[in-house]
Amino acid sequence: MKPTLLVLAAGMGSRYGGLKQIDGLGPSGETIIDYSIYDAVRAGFGKVVYIVRDYFLEQFKESVHQKYSHLLCPDGTPIEFDFVTQELDKIPAGFTLNPERQKPWGTAHAMLMAKDVINEPFVVINGDDFYGRDSFGIAADWCRAHEGGSSTYAIVGFQIDNTLSESGGVSRGICQYDANGRLITVVEHHNVFIEEDGVLRGDNSVTGERVCLQPKDLCSMNMWCFTPDYFEKSESIFVDFLRQNIGELKKEFYIPYAVDLMIHSGKAACDVLATPSRWFGVTFKEDRPAVVAKFAELVAAGVYPSPLY
């Protein structure tokens, strides 16, 4: 069985100032998604599904065709590609949108756009985040071990000190899990950085307190592993979410929210998988030079070839 990679690439890039999903950051113009696809193929993924917006669908398809049309799995079979679109009006029947709303409904809503094209265990990632080859190997192994399974999912957790930014404080969802490695909840912390006294601290979004954090604690960077039954469970939660929030202009339906409800209702369990990989990504234009430098370092160290394809 070959798992599927689901790439969240529908972000409009408004803060970044451009279409960052196809911005060349590697030494030969590679995008972050290019590196994710490269690592996923090496880990044994056989299909890639992109979630994009209608307005750049054709441009994105053309870019994918040019780069990956001759890409093969390690066993010599072609990689499959599919595309689905996320728009704010793609919601269950019976709901009327607030006409002033402009944004889609978040990452968990985006995932629901792929429910008709994924029938095997799959991994979801952000298109503008670099996760590292070890992370894809860990996720692929989990998917292969859960073929035909249901109601057990997984989150790939990154050590906090492998996700910090040189530009300042970041927001990180810290994973809390039990002795069996099962996720209890993800607690959001804001303004996370190492202070002048050398201690890592962040603002706990639940208590409002600024607390000390352990550098090796695991946090979520939105890399999740699911079996296909996730879609049905998530869609049911989305309907309840819309009943409460259909008139809202900015409220979003996020993956951690959906998973948290499944865990606490007893409908699912979630493994926490630790990865040694270092994460990095682009949110603002100011992040770009540092990411370009990191890819150059990885190529110089022989981790990736250049050009990548």
Give the whole-angstrom CA distance, residue 172 versus residue 124.
18
Confidence of residue 65 (pLDDT cuts 50, 70, 90): confident
pLDDT at position 19: 52
- Does the structure show a pLDDT above 90 at 4? yes
Give the whole-angstrom CA distance, residue 236 versus residue 221.
25
CB atoms closer than 10 angstroms to residue 114: 22
Helices (H), 176-245: 230-245
Q: Which range has the worst mean pLDDT, 57-71, 164-178, 250-264? A: 57-71
Q: Do residues 70 and 104 lie in contact, with contact meaning Cβ atoms separated by under 8 Å?
A: no
For the segment 122-127, the average pLDDT, to the nearest whole number, is 96
Q: What is the mean pLDDT of the chain?
A: 92
pLDDT at position 284: 66
Give the whole-angstrom CA distance, residue 220 versus residue 171.
10
pLDDT at position 283: 65
CA atoms within 13 A on the CB side of 78: 7
pLDDT at position 104: 87
Could you read off the pLDDT of 264-274 as tens digits, one per residue?
999 999 999 99
pLDDT at position 21: 52
pLDDT at position 237: 97
- Does the structure show a pLDDT above 50 at 17? no
For the segment 136-153, the average pLDDT, to the nearest whole number, is 96
Domain 4-300: CATH superfamily is Spore Coat Polysaccharide Biosynthesis Protein SpsA; Chain A (3.90.550.10)
Could you read off the pLDDT of 200-212 as tens digits, one per residue?
999 999 999 999 9
Q: Which range has the worst mean pLDDT, 1-5, 23-27, 148-152? A: 23-27
Give the E-state strand segments of the chain in sequence order: 4-8, 47-52, 80-85, 122-126, 129-130, 152-159, 170-177, 183-194, 200-204, 210-212, 218-226, 269-275, 280-281
Cis peptide bond N-terminal to 3, omega within 30:
no
pTM equals 0.93
Q: Which residue matches tokens 């094209």?
A: 117
pLDDT at position 203: 97
Could you read off the pLDDT of 77-105 as tens digits, one per residue?
999 999 999 998 999 999 999 999 988 89
For the segment 140-163, the average pLDDT, to the nearest whole number, is 96
- Does the structure show a pLDDT above 60 at 107? yes
